[in-house]
Amino acid sequence: MIITKTYSIRALAKINLLLLVGKKLKNSDYHSLKTITARTNLADDITVEVEEILNTEVDTYKESGLSLPAIPERKNSFSWTLKVEIEQSLRDHIQDESIVGDLASDNNLINKALKVISESSYFDLRGVRLNIHLLKRIPIFAGLGGGSADAAAIINLVSDIQNVALNHRLEIAQQVGQDCVLCIKNSIQLSTYNGAFHNEELHSLSEENQKKPLYCLLYKVPEGSRTKEAYQNLNRTSVTSDSESLFSVEHLNDLELGLNNVKKLISLGQGKEEPANQQPFKIINHFEENVLSISQEIEAGMRHICNGSPVTYGVSGSGTTIFGIFSDIESALNTAKGLKKDGYFISVDKLFIK
């Protein structure tokens, strides 16, 4: 007997409201970092058909000698299929067709997440088969965490079905990648990575908490930026002793400034403070210099967004997306109209909304 249920989930893009990269960790390829992340309403759509194969063969009860139907038991191993579809507007933006093939390969973080899940003792997925359809809307190599958001959405779905606790979800996500951890919870969070992730929720995201909508304009050039190469270009020194600090005094000062800026955004979203006629504050992101060097259009786009009177603006992650956050939809849309469009990804979506 096969029991089938279908679930529809959304994997929300993330943006970095602060991104500080410290020294490389001792005996590791990873860097220490501090980041503040939020989610936008731009999302990949994922449909998951869950098939559960049950064994309903007749069982004989020894004590009574009676033959009765057994309690259904799951049999066979855990398996899954993944089909990827790219929305046409995003496909028009992709210059390298090899990326399309990668999306459905083992490189897809959904496949990596499910492999980790299949080897974990936190799940009992015998006899379960997942048929996954992924509709990609989030740009690739953009600094928006699209692949990580997809993997996190699948981890959360399977965990919800199996009642797996949050700490175990985060443990699974960390084996997939740093950004995947950031996408497990739908909140504005301050995260520190120093060999393990430490997350502090700054604001829970929900319709109830969002009294005044804020709007996020995303702008990405055709060129992309791979995370591994971006970190290599930073040329950070390595930690040489256990007592050596991972973050400088300058990092900590930038952290304080970033936290103050995020508090202003949260206050705006809660309707507690009206936007004043003040200069927009710029997001601190240690990848910005490298990102701006990839294309002159990125720097030109950032200047244009800044002139559109956003509340804040900057570079997201290590990718080639720049963004501006606006307190009204008209300003966001008018600013978007002035950006170069052919082959470029442009989107205006609500910020902080679940």
Is residue 268 within 8 Å of residue 275, measured between CB atoms? yes
Look at residue 80 and give its three-state secondary structure: strand
Q: What gap in Å lies between CA 344 and CA 89, rounded to an integer?
A: 10
Architecture of domain 2-55+69-351: 2-Layer Sandwich (3.30)
Q: Does residue 117 carry a pLDDT above 60?
A: yes
pLDDT tens digit string along 140-186? 889 999 999 999 999 999 999 999 999 999 999 999 988 899 899 88
* Mean pLDDT within 22-44: 87
What radius of gyration, in Å, describes the C-alpha atoms of the chain?
23
Q: What gap in Å lies between CA 13 and CA 220, rounded to an integer?
A: 13
- Continuous segment of H or E residues that includes residue 263: helix 249-269
Backbone angles phi, psi at 264, to 5 degrees: -65, -40
Q: Any residues with CB less than 8 A from the CB of 218 and at least 6 apart, and which?
A: 13, 15, 40, 42, 144, 316, 321, 322, 323, 345, 346, 347, 348, 349
* Mean pLDDT within 110-136: 94
Q: Any residues with CB less than 8 A from the CB of 127 and at least 6 apart, and which?
A: 52, 53, 54, 55, 74, 75, 76, 77, 78
Domain residue ranges of the chain, discontinuous segments joined by +: 2-55+69-351
Backbone angles phi, psi at 152, to 5 degrees: -65, -40
Q: What does pTM read for this prediction?
A: 0.87
Q: What gap in Å lies between CA 26 and CA 220, rounded to an integer?
A: 34
Q: How confident is the model at residue 352 (pLDDT cuts 50, 70, 90)?
A: low
pLDDT tens digit string along 144-153? 999 999 999 9
pLDDT at 178: 83
- Continuous segment of H or E residues that includes residue 249: helix 249-269
Q: What gap in Å lies between CA 306 and CA 285, rounded to an integer?
A: 16
Q: What gap in Å lies between CA 212 and CA 180, rounded to an integer?
A: 28
Q: What gap in Å lies between CA 290 and CA 227, rounded to an integer?
A: 12
Q: Does residue 262 carry a pLDDT above 80?
A: yes
Tokens in use for 194?
């120093």
pLDDT at 304: 95
pLDDT tens digit string along 200-224? 888 765 555 667 789 999 999 988 8
Q: Any residues with CB less than 8 A from the CB of 139 and at least 6 apart, and which?
A: 90, 93, 146, 220, 224, 319, 321, 345
Mean pLDDT of the chain: 85
Helices 166-176 & 146-162, crossing angle to 10 degrees?
A: 150
pLDDT tens digit string along 18-32? 999 988 888 777 788
Q: What is the dihedral of CA 256, 298, 148, 283, to 10 degrees?
A: 10
